Amino acid sequence: MRTGIPASVMDAAVVRLRAAGCVFAEEEAAALGAAAADEAGLDAMVARRALGEPLEQVVGYADFCGVRVRLRPGVFVPRVRSELLVRVATAEAETADRPPAVVDLCCGSGALGLAVRRRAAGIDLHAADLDPVAVACARDNLGRNVYQGDLFDPLPQSVRGRIAILLANVPYVATRHIPLLPAEARDHEPHTALDGGADGLDVFRAVAAGAPHWLAPGGILLSEITEAQTQAAIQAVRAAGLDADVIDDDDLDARVIQGRKTVGGLR
């Protein structure tokens, strides 16, 4: 709890958050109190949270995979289940003979690239997103080599054909399921970061189709999917000429589709 904000004010914040339906009202009040500059700031932040804005957007950061990711309002909040993407990408980077080229596509805040760079120092990291607000947020976190544009379009030609790890946490919620999402996501995160089309795989198919032109021999594409999307995602990867594999983590309730570019049948 931030010193200088009276306990009575913090107690009142807890009451307001609990009344708004926040299950972990005490913990959230503590986070807001630590982020607020003063009582007026805390009051404004509690009001935003009570209206349903994600806590991470209100306080301006999310703790993800051992790194603190700076966030802006309206930017996709990194999910715990995405730790599986980071683990798989890091394991791949650690086997490389030289610092690999890594691209965080549809990067949002840049959380995935930031976490992989923290674990595998020295990677040649690039990131891109269509949303200008997300790009600005990713630049807050990653610094340079963050580009704005649609999928592969803004990437520099210098990485074409030499990407060892292509992280593409694309939107994969089926359009008909968007209304069923929690209000925090549905009302405060961009639909372009959520809506993956009729079966949730429209954007993924576009990425898979383009990946062979950008991946290095032996390079991999990694993306999150749901269990119901597994067979269709495998088909999309194989249709692009990549070897397909699926990695699960029951503890995280996460599933990652991996596509690997092979040459002559060898990785």
Is a pLDDT exceeding 60 seen at residue 140?
A: yes
pLDDT tens, position by position, 112-130: 999 999 999 899 999 999 9
Say what the pLDDT of residue 97 is.
81
Among the listed residues 191, 186, 256, 205, the one whose alpha carbon sits nearest the alpha carbon of residue 227: 256
Q: What strand order describes the sheet that includes 163-168?
A: 146-148, 124-129, 101-105, 163-168, 215-224, 254-260, 243-249
Say what the pLDDT of residue 210 is.
97
217/267 Cα distance (integer angstroms) = 7
104/265 Cα distance (integer angstroms) = 26
91/21 Cα distance (integer angstroms) = 40
pLDDT tens, position by position, 178-224: 898 888 788 888 888 888 899 999 999 999 999 999 999 999 999 99
Of the pLDDT bands very low, low, confident and very high (cuts 50, 70, 90), residue 1 is very low
242/153 Cα distance (integer angstroms) = 21
pLDDT tens, position by position, 14-28: 999 999 998 899 999
Say what the pLDDT of residue 39 is.
92
Considering only residues 266 and 109, tell me which one the structure prediction assigns the higher pLDDT: 109
Residue 24, both tokens: 């972990």
Calculate the CA 105 to chain-centre distance: 10
Say what the pLDDT of residue 239 is.
97
Calculate the CA 34 to chain-centre distance: 25
What is the per-residue DSSP string for 19-72?
HTT-TTHHHHHHHHHHH-SSHHHHHHHHHHHHTT--HHHHHTEEEETTEEEE--
Q: What class has domain 80-260? A: alpha beta
- Tokens 């913090």 locate to 10
Percent of the chain topping pLDDT 70: 97
Is a pLDDT exceeding 60 seen at residue 80?
A: yes
This prediction has a pTM of 0.89
Is a pLDDT exceeding 60 seen at residue 11?
A: yes
Q: Which sequence spans correspond to the domains of the chain?
A: 7-70, 80-260
Of the pLDDT bands very low, low, confident and very high (cuts 50, 70, 90), residue 263 is confident
Say what the pLDDT of residue 267 is.
45
75/103 Cα distance (integer angstroms) = 19
Percent of the chain topping pLDDT 90: 81
Is a pLDDT exceeding 70 seen at residue 265?
A: no
Say what the pLDDT of residue 252 is.
94
Is a pLDDT exceeding 60 seen at residue 82?
A: yes
